[in-house]
Amino acid sequence: MNGWSPFLDLPGTGAIVDGADAVRRQVRLNVKYGADQIKIVATGGILSVGDAIGAPQMTDEELTAAVSEATRLGRPVMAHAHAGAGLLAAVRAGVASIDHGSLVSDTAIAEMKARGTFLVPTLIILEEIVRDGEAKGVPAYARAKATAIAAERRVRLRAAYRAGVRFALGTDATSDIHGRNGEEFRYMVEILGATPMEAITIGTRNGATLLGVEQDLGTVAVGKLADLVAVAGNPLEDITRLQRTALVMKGGTVVKGPAR
C-alpha cells in the first residue's frame, strides 16, 4: 500500500514484521483468523514505492520461520518475488510457490525444479501495465519498472517453463483484471510457449495441486465437484475461446448460461 500516512491502521494491508519471532506470531494470527495460506513479500515489487524488484525484503531466518510455522499449522506459503537473491532464498526456505518470478535466474530455476516449487507468473498484469498503465492511472515509477523488465521477463519465464518448472495460473487481479483470468491462457501460449492443452492444465489441475485441493477440483472425474466452464468451439484450436464462457457451473448448479 502506497501513499498513506504511517499513522493510519489500514485493515487488510498485511503486516510489517521484524525478526523470526514476529514472523511466527503473525503466521499464527493469520491462521487463527481464517487464513488458508500465508503470503510473504520476499522481494521488492512493481507497484511498491522505493524498492528494486530484486531487493530482498526478509532475512533467511525470517523466511524459514514463516515456512516452518505455516507448515506446522498445515498452511502453504506463497512468496511474492520477482528476481535475485530474495527469490532464491524464498525457494530454498521451502515456499509452495513463487508469484511473479519475472527475472528468475538459472540457479533459481534449478532449485525450483528440484523442489517442485510452483511458479505463478501473473502474466496479464505486467503486460497491461506496460501497454495500458498510463491510461489506467498506474504511477510513472511503476510503469518504468515494468517496462524495464518486460522483454527479459519473457525470456526468463519461458526458460523456466522449458526447464520443467511447474506452473500454475494466477492474474494478480488488481485494477480491472478481476474476473478476466481466462485471458491469462493466451499469454501462457504466447509468452511461455505452452501448447493450448498445457495452458489449460496449468489453469486447472496444476492450480488445484498447488492449493492442495486436487482431491475435489482441477480435473473432471467422478466424485469431484462439478465446477465447470463451457465455451463455444474447441479451445485447443483457439485458446482465446476460454475468455468467452458460454456456461459456468458451480457445484453442479448452473450459474451462467442455459440451465438445461
Residue 78: per-residue pLDDT: 97
Torsion angle of the four alpha carbons 224, 226, 228, 234, in this order, in degrees rounded to the nearest 10: 70
Cβ atoms 96, 76 nearer than 8 A: yes
Arithmetic mean of pLDDT, 105-123: 98
Tell me the residue type at 8. L
Cα–Cα distances (Å) from 199 to 57, 155, 188, in that order, read 31, 18, 6
C-alpha cell at 1: 500500500
Q: Is pLDDT at 1 greater than 80 in this prediction? A: no
pLDDT one-digit tens code per residue, 121-171: 999 999 999 999 999 999 999 999 999 999 999 999 999 999 999 999 998
Residue 178: per-residue pLDDT: 85
CA distance 217 to 73: 22
CATH fold group of domain 20-218 = TIM Barrel (3.20.20)
Arithmetic mean of pLDDT, 10-37: 92
The string of DSSP letters for 161-222 reads HHHT-EE-------TT-TT-GGGHHHHIIIII---HHHHHHHHTHHHHHHHT-TTTSSS--T
- Which of 72-81, 166-175, 204-213 has the least mean pLDDT? 166-175
Residue 15: per-residue pLDDT: 87
Q: Is pLDDT at 7 greater than 80 in this prediction? A: yes
Cα–Cα distances (Å) from 183 to 65, 162, 164, 173, 179, in that order, read 36, 21, 23, 12, 9
Of 113, 132, 145, 172, which residue is the catalytic one?
172
Q: Is pLDDT at 260 greater than 70 in this prediction? A: no
Residue 121: per-residue pLDDT: 97
Q: For residue 10, what pLDDT band results from cuts at 50, 70 and 90?
A: confident
CA distance 244 to 68: 41
Arithmetic mean of pLDDT, 24-47: 96
Arithmetic mean of pLDDT, 209-225: 95
Domain boundaries, the chain: 20-218, 226-260
- Residue 55's nearest CA partner among 10, 97, 89, 86 is 86
Tell me the residue type at 114. A
Of 39, 132, 224, 227, which residue is the catalytic one?
39
pLDDT > 70: percent of the chain: 98
Residue 177: per-residue pLDDT: 84
136 is catalytic: no
Residue 82: per-residue pLDDT: 98
Q: For residue 259, what pLDDT band results from cuts at 50, 70 and 90?
A: low
Task: Supply the pTM of this predicted model.
Answer: 0.94
Residue 120: per-residue pLDDT: 98
Question: What is the residue-averaged pLDDT of the chain?
Answer: 94
Arithmetic mean of pLDDT, 19-28: 98
113 is catalytic: no
